[in-house]
């Protein structure tokens, strides 16, 4: 084993153990975390360019990039001059590191940028990932990876050809409550998982937003937030769905003319039955729960940026909340500089898209569908 990796593992275990007393208040100790690395000096941090300065970039990612230990914000891409000006002031960015969608490809010559982080509407992820890879940059892309498995494959190919890493923004895979649940599942703390119930949805507002536009969003709540429930089923079981059934409910055919409104689906994953749902019609669904041979465990709320709570038949699952975005970005930066294994590569995004496509197919046909394999 590479001594650097061995040392890092030892450090992670040690720092996790040291912080257990302070950070774990439930009945389980902290899981192995990915955000405990020591901070690098500023001039050794990798540079990140944010593409798309909407709600997520403004409220979550840019603030996270002020806390990251291995990367920092060095450039922005926006089509709105007022936003460019505001961000330049707020984050001390000079004009040569500010791009719009036409000048984006010039980022190839910007040595301050190592990673391009794509935070655009889903239907634009493929184009900007391919362009970023051609510019010689590593790419971190928000979920869902793209609007089709065909696009996902193009993105993977482009990054492979450019010999750059491609990571997908599955932030829950870096969150202590989720990581502990993965450990509980893997160690069979409660015996074999028999059934999982998982769902995520919210009541959507503005009927003109891109999330309701098929070309830009690829689909409705399933692509946007149902994907979290799918991810949970996959990382708890470590299995892929054999067969899927799905039912759609539409009460507002005008607002939801292009995308689904509410969708319930089941997945047979080995001997585990998963029942999932997603919606843009009402608030409150935000959970997963695993029922096992000798007990049960789960999270609710499960998928927010904070406030995650867990419970089990042995007692609460409780840890300090962490910044999911800082954790996933530091992990990505570490994989680039240290050559360590990426937890959330493009293939993970492609696998989800293949399953999402099968869920849509099952809803349309009313038949049980087997997802295509990678």
Q: Hey, which residues are catalytic here?
A: 143, 228
Buried b (16+ CB within 10 A) or exposed e, 26-40: bebebbebbbbbeeb
CA–CA separation, 356 vs 113, rounded Å? 33
Span 188-227, contacts to ligand NAD by CB under 6 A: 210, 216, 224
Identify the residue among 55, 187, 283, 373 touching ligand NAD (CB under 6 A).
55
Comparison of 28 and 303: residue with beta carbon closer to ligand NAD: 303
178 contributes a contact to ligand NAD by CB under 6 A: no
In the list 31, 52, 226, 241, the residue contacting ligand NAD (rule: CB under 6 A) is 52
The verdict on 54 binding ligand NAD (CB under 6 A) reads yes
Using CA atoms, how far apart are residues 8 and 204, in angstroms rounded to an integer?
43
Of the candidates 239, 236, 210, the one whose C-alpha atom is nearest the C-alpha of residue 224 is 210
Closest to ligand NAD by CB, 142 vs 318, is: 142
In the complex with ligand NAD, which residue's Cβ is closer, 169 or 201? 169
Distance of alpha carbon 367 from the chain centroid? 29
Instruction: Fill in the per-residue mask, 120 to 139: x = in contact with ligand NAD (CB under 6 A), - = not in contact.
Output: xxx-----------------
Grouping H, G, I as helix, E, B as strand and the rest as coil, residue 316 is: strand
The stretch near ligand NAD (CB under 6 A) out of 21-29, 48-56, 107-115, 343-351 is 48-56
Q: Which is nearer to ligand NAD, 24 or 125 (CB)?
A: 125
| Distance (Å, whole) CA 50 – CA 241 | 34
Q: Is 134 helix (H, G, I), strand (E, B) or coil?
A: helix
Does 63 sit near ligand NAD (CB under 6 A)? no
Interacting residues of 110 by C-beta distance below 8 A, sequence separation 6+: 49, 74, 75, 96, 97
Kindly state the number of chain residues that form the binding site for ligand NAD, as judged by CB under 6 A.
18
Residues within the interface to ligand NAD (CB under 6 A): 52-57, 79, 119-122, 142-143, 169, 171, 210, 216, 224
């Amino acid at each position: 084993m590479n001594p650097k990796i061995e040392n890092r593992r030892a450090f992670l275990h040690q720092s996790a153990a040291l912080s257990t007393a302070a950070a774990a208040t439930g009945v389980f100790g902290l899981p192995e975390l990915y955000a405990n690395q020591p901070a690098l000096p500023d001039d050794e941090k990798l540079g990140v360019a944010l593409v798309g300065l909407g709600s997520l970039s403004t409220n979550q990612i840019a603030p996270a990039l002020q806390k990251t230990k291995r990367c920092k914000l060095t450039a922005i891409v926006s089509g709105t001059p007022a936003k460019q000006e505001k961000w330049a002031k707020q984050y001390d960015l000079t004009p040569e590191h500010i791009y719009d969608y036409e000048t984006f490809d010039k980022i190839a010559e910007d040595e301050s940028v190592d990673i391009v982080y794509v935070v655009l509407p889903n239907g634009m992820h493929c184009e900007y990932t391919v362009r970023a890879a051609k510019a010689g940059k590593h790419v971190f892309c928000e979920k869902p990876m793209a609007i089709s498995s065909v696009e996902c494959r193009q993105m993977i190919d482009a990054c492979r050809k450019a010999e750059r890493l491609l990571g997908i923004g599955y932030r829950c895979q870096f969150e202590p409550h989720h990581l502990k649940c993965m450990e509980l599942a893997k160690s069979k703390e409660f015996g074999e998982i028999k059934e999982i119930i998982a769902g995520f949805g919210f009541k959507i507002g503005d009927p003109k937003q891109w999330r309701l536009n098929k070309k830009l969003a690829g689909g409705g709540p399933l692509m946007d937030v149902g994907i979290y429930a799918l991810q949970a089923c996959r990382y708890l079981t470590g299995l892929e769905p054999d067969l899927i059934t799905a039912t759609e409910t539409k009460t507002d055919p005008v607002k939801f003319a292009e995308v689904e409104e509410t969708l319930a689906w089941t997945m047979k994953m080995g001997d585990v039955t998963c029942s999932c749902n997603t919606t843009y019609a009402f608030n409150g669904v935000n959970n997963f729960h695993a029922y096992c041979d000798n007990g049960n465990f789960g999270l609710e709320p499960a998928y927010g940026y904070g406030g995650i709570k867990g419970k089990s038949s042995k007692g609460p699952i409780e840890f300090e909340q962490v910044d999911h975005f800082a954790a996933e970005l530091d992990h990505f930066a570490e994989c680039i500089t240290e050559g360590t294994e990426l937890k959330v590569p493009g293939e993970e995004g492609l696998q989800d898209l293949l399953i999402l496509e099968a869920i849509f197919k099952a809803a349309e046909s009313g038949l049980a569908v087997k997802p295509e394999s990678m």
